[in-house]
Amino acid sequence: MGSNSTRLSPRQKMINLMYIVLTAMLALNVSSDVLDGFTQVEDGLNQSNETVAQRNEDIYRRLEAFNEQNPEKGAVWYNKATEVRHATQQLYDFVDSLKLAIVIKADGDDADVSEIVHRDDLEAASVIMLSPTNNQGEKLRKSIDGYREYISELMTDSVKRMTVEQALSTESVSKSGTIGAQKWEEAKFESQPVVAAVTLLAQLQSDIRYAEGEALSTLLSNVDARDVRVNELNAFVIPQSRFVMRGGKYSANIVLAAVDTTQRPLVVINGQKLDNDRGLYEFVAGKTGTFDYAGFLEVPHGDGSMTKHEFKSSYTVIEPTATVSATMMNVLYAGIDNPMSISVPGVPSNSVSASMTNGTLTRSGDTWIAKPAKVGAEAVITVTANMDGRQQTVATMNFRVRKLPDPTPFITFTDAKGNQERYKGSRPFAKTLLLQASGLEAAIDDDLLNIQFKVLSFETVFFDSMGNAIPEVSNGASFSQRQKDSFRRLSRGKRFYISRVKAIGPDGIERDLAPMEVIVN
C-alpha cells in the first residue's frame, strides 16, 4: 500500500493487510473463497472511504466557517480548499466510472458494482484499462500524476509530502519473470479478475481521500500560522539587498515585527515621512559607496497613545560588474605561477578568501597566484566571502591541470632598427646575423604564455658535396667552435638543420624539441 501506516487506523491497517494476502493467493488460484475475500476487502475500503470523506468534510467546513468570520485572512485558504475538493472529486468520480465500466464489460449493461456476477472474469479489466481502443489505464495514470503534483505543491511538511507521493506513486513496476519494468497500469490490471481490479480501484480511491485530507489539514494549519503572538515589539529594516549597483534601485521594507497588516504605523526616515503606507523605502542609487540612514516607527494604540520604535540601517552601492569566462579554457599549467583574478561584487577584497586543491593558491596584492602540483588531476578553487559577519561559499570552479606545451627553439638577433627579434627557421637568414648569434634559445611565446626554457644541448647537421650528413654538437646552449667554423663555410642559399634540441622548463620536465631548418642568405 502507498499510504503511511503510521497515519492509518487499526481497521485500515487490517484491510490493507488482507488485500496483500488475497493478492498473493490470487497468483496461485482464483477460488471462490479468494473472490469472496476481495469482496470483503472492497466493502471495508468503501466504508473506510466514507469515514475519511466525512473527516475531510469536517475540515473543509472549519475552513469555511473561518472564512465567514475573517474573510481577509481566511479567503485564500478557503479558496484553495475548494479547489482541492473539486480536483479530488473529479479524480474520485473518474475512478468510479472505471469500476462501473469494468463490471459492465463482465456482466453486461445491467451490471451492479456492488453485486458483481462474473467476479472471476480475467479479460474485462484488461480490455477497459489496457486495450488500445479504451486505454483508460494510461489516462488514469496521467490523471493521478497531475493530481499528485498538485497536492504535493500544497504540502509544507516534507514528511507528509513524501507520504502522499508514495501513496499516489505510478512508477513502473519490475516483476520476476518479466523483461524490463512494466507500466503502472499493466502491473495493476493485466489479467486481473474483475473483483480484484475493482478492489484495487477502491484502494486507489482510499489513497485519494487520504491525500485530500492531508492537503486540507495543511491549509487549515496555515490559517493559524499567520497569527503571531508576541510580548515585545521591535522595529526592523528588511532590504531586498544590502548591495546595489549604481543605477539600480534600492528597496527596503520598514516593518514592525509581528504587527498585524491592518495596523499601518507611521514611518519617518531621515526626518522625512514615507509617501506610502506599506513601509516601502526605495530610490535610485546615484553614486557608489556605503550610506547610512535612520528613522522611527510610530504605532497608534486603542487608547489613543502612540509608541515610537527607532531603527537604523545602511546600504552599499557598487559599480556594475560582470565576469565572463570561457568554460573550455579553464586550464592551469603545472610548474609555473598562474595569475588569477578573484573578486566578489559588493564585497571588499580583504573579506574574500580562496583555497585550492591539487596545489597552492596565494594572494599577491590584488591578484592571486595558483600553482598546481599534479598534471592530469583537477584543481578546484573555492571562493568564500565574509558577508554580514558570516563566512559563505560564493563560488567553486574546476580547472584542468596541464603540462606546459613544448617551446619553440629560436636564434636571437638584432634587426636594423635595434629591436630584438627571434629567428625560428624555414626562411632566409643573413649569414652575418648567424655569425653574430651566440647560440640557441627556446621559449613559449604564443601571446598567451611567455615562458623561457633552458636549452641543454643541440646538434647542427650540415651536408657535404656528396650529400653526406655532418653532425656537430653544441656547447650546451651555445654554438661550438666547430659549428661556427661550419657557418663560415656556408655559401648563399645553403641550408643546415638544428636537431636533437633538448630543453628544460620551469616545471622541471626535460623535452625533445622539433628540428629547425636554417636557410643562409
Is 472:459 a contact under the CB 8 Å cutoff? yes
Q: Can you give 261-329 as a three-state secondary structure string? A: CCCCCEEEECCEECCCCCCEEEEECCCCEEEEEEEEEEEECCCCCEEEEEEEEEEEEECCCCCCCCHHH
AA letter at 457: S
Give CA–CA dist 420/115, Å, rounded. 104
Give CA–CA dist 152/187, Å, rounded. 24
Q: Residue 312 pairs with which residues in a beta bridge?
A: 294
**What does the domain layout of the chain look like in residue ranges?**
5-225, 235-318, 327-402, 408-520
Give CA–CA dist 6/55, Å, rounded. 17
Backbone angles phi, psi at 450, to 5 degrees: -135, 85
Q: Residue 252 pairs with which residues in a beta bridge?
A: 239, 281
Beta strands in 103-230 (DSSP E): none
Residue carrying the nine cell digits 507528509: 160
Output the pLDDT for position 2.
41
Fold identical between 235-318 and 327-402?
yes
Output the pLDDT for position 262.
61
AA letter at 402: R
Is 198:129 a contact under the CB 8 Å cutoff? no
The H or E element containing residue 240 is none
Q: Reply yes or no on whether the pLDDT at 232 is more than 80.
A: no
CATH code at 327-402: 2.60.40.1080
From first CA to last CA, the distance across the chain in angstroms is 92
249-272: average pLDDT: 75
Is 182:23 a contact under the CB 8 Å cutoff? no
Output the pLDDT for position 366.
81
Q: Reply yes or no on whether the pLDDT at 329 is more than 90.
A: no
Give whichever of 141-155, 242-256, 261-275 has the largest mean pLDDT.
141-155
Q: Reply yes or no on whether the pLDDT at 149 is more than 80.
A: yes
401-418: average pLDDT: 91
Percent with pLDDT over 90 in the chain: 33
**N residues, the chain:** 521
Please report, for the chain, how many H helices and E strands are present, in that order.
10, 24
8-14: average pLDDT: 59
pLDDT tens column, 159-189: 889 989 988 999 988 766 666 788 888 888 8
Q: Reply yes or no on whether the pLDDT at 229 is more than 50.
A: no
383-408: average pLDDT: 86
Output the pLDDT for position 519.
94
- Alpha carbon 308 to its chain's center: 45
Give CA–CA dist 59/65, Å, rounded. 10
Give CA–CA dist 56/5, Å, rounded. 19
- Higher confidence at residue 360 or residue 49? 360
380-395: average pLDDT: 84
pLDDT tier, 246 (very low <50, low <70, confident <90, very high otherwise)? low
Look up residue 286 and give its three cell numbers: 546615484
Output the pLDDT for position 507.
85
AA letter at 296: F
Give CA–CA dist 217/60, Å, rounded. 9
pLDDT tens column, 25-84: 544 444 454 455 455 555 556 677 788 888 989 999 998 988 888 888 888 899 999 999
Residues ≥6 apart with Cβ < 8 Å to 39: 116, 119, 195, 199
Taking residue 210's Cβ as centre, other Cβ atoms within 10 Å add up to 24
Q: Reply yes or no on whether the pLDDT at 243 is more than 90.
A: no
pLDDT tens column, 88-110: 999 999 998 998 898 898 888 88
Q: Reply yes or no on whether the pLDDT at 423 is more than 90.
A: yes
Output the pLDDT for position 484.
94
464-471: average pLDDT: 89
Q: Reply yes or no on whether the pLDDT at 439 is more than 70.
A: yes
Burial class (CB in 10 A: 0-12, 13-18, 19+), 494: middle
Residue carrying the nine cell digits 596545489: 359
pLDDT tier, 241 (very low <50, low <70, confident <90, very high otherwise)? low
Output the pLDDT for position 19.
56
Task: Show the DSSP H helices in 29-123 as ranges.
Answer: 32-69, 71-107
Output the pLDDT for position 303.
44
Q: From 269, 225, 267, select the one nearest 77 (Cα to Cα).
A: 225
AA letter at 26: L
Least confident of 235-244, 354-363, 491-500: 235-244
- Higher confidence at residue 390 or residue 212? 212
The fold of 235-318 is Immunoglobulin-like (2.60.40)
> Mean pLDDT for the chain?
82
Is 245:320 a contact under the CB 8 Å cutoff? yes
Q: Reply yes or no on whether the pLDDT at 228 is more than 50.
A: no
Output the pLDDT for position 15.
58
Burial class (CB in 10 A: 0-12, 13-18, 19+), 446: exposed
Give CA–CA dist 27/282, Å, rounded. 70
- Higher confidence at residue 21 or residue 495? 495
pLDDT tens column, 470-490: 999 999 999 999 999 999 999
